[in-house]
Amino acid sequence: MNNTPKQTRKTLWKCGKCGGELQRGSVKASYLGNDFVVEELKCLKCGMVLITEDLALGKMFEVEQSLEDK
């Protein structure tokens, strides 16, 4: 299961908030008090980040599970 959006020269991702261009880069994410760095698409104008299904069901799910186990 790899649903990570692929950005090519033909496909230019636009921000749903401001319409700005999205560019892949390192993003510091915080979820339920846990911080981690991921590579995601981020708006160059407003800073909004596209959270992919892989991140939501992968790293964020792992954080939830580790907190539930405590």
User: 26-63, pLDDT tens digit by residue?
Assistant: 998 887 787 888 889 999 999 999 988 887 787 767 77
Compute how many other C-beta atoms are within 10 angstroms of the C-beta atom of residue 37. 9
Q: Where are the chain's structural domains?
A: 22-69
38-44 long-range contacts, Cβ below 8 Å, gap at least 24? 41/5, 41/7, 41/13, 43/15, 43/17, 43/18, 44/20
pLDDT of res. 3: 57
User: Is residue 8 scored above 60 in pLDDT?
Assistant: no
Residue 35 has a pLDDT of 85
Residue 11 confidence (pLDDT) above 80: no
What is the pTM assigned to this prediction?
0.60
Local structure of 24: helix, strand or coil = strand
pLDDT in the model for residue 47:
93
Q: Positive or negative CA dihedral for 62, 34, 40, 38?
A: negative
Q: 22: which strand partners?
A: 43
